[in-house]
């Protein structure tokens, strides 16, 4: 069982490394509900791109992707084998979410993206 987010973007939070509030990093703001409802305005697009570039430039994405080329999952032993840190995993997970946001804005003319995150 895992925690999911859905709406205009959809996915599953990476188990044990990504908080349900990961979208806030990219400008998402909470809405009232039993879940956490978020919206991201298009005026955050430049912020999204900047954060994605920052994450990628630090090598987090490359290290995790190289690991996933050889492995279907991860545990502490696998992380150590490939030199992937918990921070790498967290940044990679956030990168994937931020990339979904960017791609959604790239494909849609809407000014606001909505999604709901499970807690």
Does the pLDDT of residue 20 top 80, yes or no?
Answer: no
Distance CA 56, CA 52 (A): 6
Phi and psi for 52 in degrees, rounded to 5?
-60, -45
* pLDDT at residue 13, rounded to an integer: 85
pLDDT digit string, tens, across residues 86-111: 999 999 999 999 999 999 999 999 99
Please write the tens of the pLDDT for every residue from 37-81.
Answer: 899 999 999 999 999 999 999 999 999 999 999 999 999 999 999
Cβ pair 105, 45 in contact under 8 A:
yes
- The sign one gets for the Cα dihedral 32, 98, 57, 62 is positive
- Look at residue 34 in the predicted model and tell me its pLDDT: 67
- Tell me the sheet residues that pair with 39: 29, 114
pTM for the full predicted model: 0.73
Question: What is the pLDDT, as a whole number, of residue 44?
Answer: 97
- Where do the domains of the chain lie? 4-117
CA terminus-to-terminus distance, the chain: 12
């Amino acid at each position: 069982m895992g925690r999911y987010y859905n709406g205009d973007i959809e996915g599953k939070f990476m188990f044990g490394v990504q908080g349900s509030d990961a979208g806030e990093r990219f400008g998402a703001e909470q809405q009232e509900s039993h879940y956490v409802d978020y919206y991201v305005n298009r005026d955050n697009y430049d912020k999204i791109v900047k954060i994605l570039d920052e994450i990628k430039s630090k090598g987090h994405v490359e290290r995790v992707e190289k690991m996933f080329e050889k492995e279907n999952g991860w545990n502490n032993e696998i992380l150590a084998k490939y030199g992937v840190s918990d921070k790498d995993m967290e940044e990679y997970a956030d990168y994937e979410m931020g990339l979904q946001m960017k791609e959604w804005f790239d494909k849609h003319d809407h000014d606001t993206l909505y999604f709901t995150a499970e807690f």
